[in-house]
Structure 1
Amino acid sequence: MKIIFVIFALAMSAFTANLTEQITKLTNLTANNKEATINLGNLKIGQSGIVINNDLQGKQVILCYATVISSDNNNSIIKFDFREIIEQSAIPKTKLLPKNGDTFIINHLYKNSMIIAPNFKAITKIKQLYSNFNFLDIDLFGAYLKINNTPAPKKEDIVTFAHLNDLGSIFLVENKNLHILDAISLTKIETIPFEIDDNTTISPFQTNVED
């Protein structure tokens, strides 16, 4: 039992490392201003972050989102995403475009998350394992779906809700696995085995919001 626990703990440690914010600079910006290179390697396709310009009299300004589209041992290529960015008082937005030398923060807001799981016990276990994450109450998502008359959430519902609430990642329990999804691209960043001694399943997910 101890061996299993140690292996699981090591897996969780490596898993969490992939969710940590890292800061780097843009290089080799393409002529069409759609892609750039960053000097971080071995990233997951679909990992996202934000591009920041800090040349405006020392102020940091969010320019856009960006998502990893390819990665090797040394570098990665990111594609810019100019969807509307929710304003933050600390970092305002602008109409400026990215340029070489601008800052890229990968895994931005990954620790702001939401758990979609079949029962309360699964949610509790995840919160214990990831105690340094800020998990939004799933009932807020349930209420959002009810207001929009969407009992079974679709991909666009999750992306829109995550965007409105500044979530960087989504924890999804499915078929005895725990998946971490990037909230911008909604691609799986990591998957680990996840079992609990509770087979209760609440459809489409655990929430106190009634239909």
Structure 2
Amino acid sequence: MLMLDARTLAAQLRQPHGEAALAVGESMNRSNAALNQAAIALLAVTTQERGLEIGPGNAAFAPLLLQADGSKYLGIELSSAMVEAGNQGLASAGLADRATLRPGDAHALPVANASIDAALAVNTLYFWPDLAPVLTEIARVLRRGGRLCLAFGDATFMRSLPFSEDFQLHELDAVELALRVAGFSVCGWRAHRETAAGNDGQRRDKHFHLLLAQRR
């Protein structure tokens, strides 16, 4: 369990850094494992597709996005510590020829126009105060017909977390509207509920939304 006060934990979840970075990365992997698996299943990357993950931490779930033959993976991550750890992990798993992490920000993705088939962002919306520029940027890098899966905590549930005070919480209908305005068609929704420990080590009932959208 991470022994960090709520504000320090929030800052670390936004961008793992310093001596706590690797422990924060592993904590996020444990806390978000089931949610990541559900989101990856909904996104359903297929043969030869190029996938993009925004804010993947140390990319622990990248292998699940690489199950299809010939698929490729690119992770864009704010934390330099997570980029280094993630690329080491991918190399150790023999995936360096198909997967890589790069430093970058969702507001200015270092990715070519219409070069991505499927994009994923799990528990990152809280760090996008304004959804419009980020969703527009994701639309830019997705090919027409490409897919985006967003996984994020229900706002009511998120307000119960002591470390979410500085997070930007988005209601489900507001996210759906922002997607449509940015050039997406919402084509799928799932509720994800589980009872498990969070990043603060406390066990609680969790409630998340998974939205699947297609680039028009």
Per the TM superposition, whether the score is higher than 0.5 is no
Rg bigger for which structure? Answer: 1
- With structure 1 as the length reference, what TM-score do the two structures score? 0.30
Structure (1/2) with the larger helix percentage: 2
